[in-house]
Amino acid sequence: MVALARKTLIYEWRRFLPAMLAVGFAGLLQLLQIALVLGIFGSTSLYVTGSAGDVWVGYPGTQSVGLGRSIDADIESRMLMDPQVQRVEPYLWVDGDWRGPRETGGVSVYVSGIDPAADGLMFAKVLPPAMRARLAEPNAIIVDRSALDQLGVGIGQMATINGQRVRVVGISSGLRGLGGVNVLCSLDTARRLDNDLPDNGPTYLVASLRDPTQANAVAARLRGTTSFGPYTAWSASDFANISVRYWLFDTGAGAGVMFLAGIVFLVGAVITSQTLIAAVNGSVREYATLNALGVGVSALRKVVLEQAFWVGALGLLGASLLGIVLLLLARSQDVPVVLNIPAALTCIALVMGLAAVSGLAAMRSLRRADPATLLR
């Protein structure tokens, strides 16, 4: 009977094609939505995931990288006392108001003051050493290429941030932010751009460890000391997750995206189940014939379930191929999309679950597969 399910799909593929397309497009929507959610909200942790630091130290209760407050610079001494800490680097976050050479209205920028040394920890994974070196020039900044039109500026041109003149010395990629434009500069330049005079210390202190696998243990050791004022410590992975969770679950944008994801799944389930039910209804006379020949309803249910499995698998295959093309196209246009293995497996599980639920719903149509149907 199981072979019958596959043969039915092969010889009557036109009947099942709408269901395959429904599953495929439902899977494609879920795949792209997961990639967009990870890409957009993952950009809130870019400052952590794009850097080489293993442990971050910042103000207690910080909910996202962009919501930090200044801490005492002397905490660096406490961090260096830990035998696992190899190096500590300050990171300065400044909120800025951008005025470019072309009128663009008000543009909010996130200024990241980093160490421009070639072996600097901050943005080590997205900023090549040669470009970092350009930041050593006073008032030099680097912006993401996707923000050039928004900022109304080009390389070599002057602009102002918080009333201070800056010059664009480099254009990078992979620095797209959420809610504002990321601007990179040296620590000295960032201090000149900071109008909040009471904030004299760094926003964060970032440490590299001799053994990065000890990040959680080192962060736990660094917490709880109040000798240098209020501060706390996180491993890099924990701090990145905290930032993403804040934007995903504690902001209106995240709630809207999660709600939309639920709607997409619900609509996909309804459309797919209806198309699969229609396909089973179209085969009701064949099922009635098999029932008259002695094939039980339980065996016919297995046939329907296997048909649902293959409909889901083939729809998923088409969605994967089209999804890869669309993701590559999105990346070429600087659209923030990220798809990792756990997200891909989640998408596969959702699509196959959708097909299974649709198959269970379609099994109700087998009640009409009575041999008496053949006499009507």
pLDDT tens profile 172-203: 887 877 778 889 999 999 988 887 766 678 99
Mean pLDDT of the chain: 82
Residue 34's pLDDT band (cuts 50, 70, 90): confident
Question: What is the helix (H) or strand (E) element at residue 353, kind and residue range?
Answer: helix 341-362
CB atoms within 10 A of CB 14: 9
Question: What is the helix (H) or strand (E) element at residue 4, kind and residue range?
Answer: helix 2-11
Q: Report CA Rg, the chain.
A: 28
The residue ranking higher by pLDDT, 88 or 223, is 88
pLDDT tens profile 252-292: 777 777 787 778 777 777 777 777 777 766 776 777 777 77
- Among 51-55, 148-152, 169-173, 359-363, the range with the most confident prediction by mean pLDDT is 51-55
Q: Token digits for 189?
A: 């330049």
Tokens 């910080």 label which residue? 62
Tokens 């797919």 label which residue? 272
Answer for the pair 203, 190: CB distance below 8 angstroms, yes or no. Answer: no
Share of the chain above pLDDT 70, in %: 91
- Among 103-107, 192-196, 281-285, 317-321, the range with the most confident prediction by mean pLDDT is 317-321
Q: In the prediction, which pLDDT does 375 show? A: 54
Separation CA 348–CA 346 (nearest Å)? 5
Question: What mean pLDDT do residues 141-163 have?
Answer: 87
Q: Does the pLDDT at position 1 exceed 60?
A: no
Separation CA 22–CA 11 (nearest Å)? 20
Q: Token digits for 108?
A: 């909010």
Q: Which residues contact 361 (CB under 8 A, 6 or more apart)?
A: 273, 276, 277
Question: What mean pLDDT do residues 349-361 have?
Answer: 77
| CA–centroid distance for 232 within its chain | 26
Residue 21's pLDDT band (cuts 50, 70, 90): confident
Pick from 355, 368, 264: nearest CA to 309 = 355
Q: Token digits for 125?
A: 């994974």
Residue 113's pLDDT band (cuts 50, 70, 90): very high
Q: Token digits for 303?
A: 């046939």
Strand-pair partners of 165: 160
Tokens 């098999």 label which residue? 290
Q: Does the pLDDT at position 366 exceed 70?
A: no
What letters, b where the CB count within 10 A reaches 16 and e where it falls short, cover 60-78?
A: eebebbbebbbbbeebbeb
Residue 365's pLDDT band (cuts 50, 70, 90): low
pLDDT tens profile 322-342: 988 988 888 887 777 788 888
Q: Pinpoint the alpha helices (H) of 81-233.
A: 129-133, 148-151, 187-193, 215-222
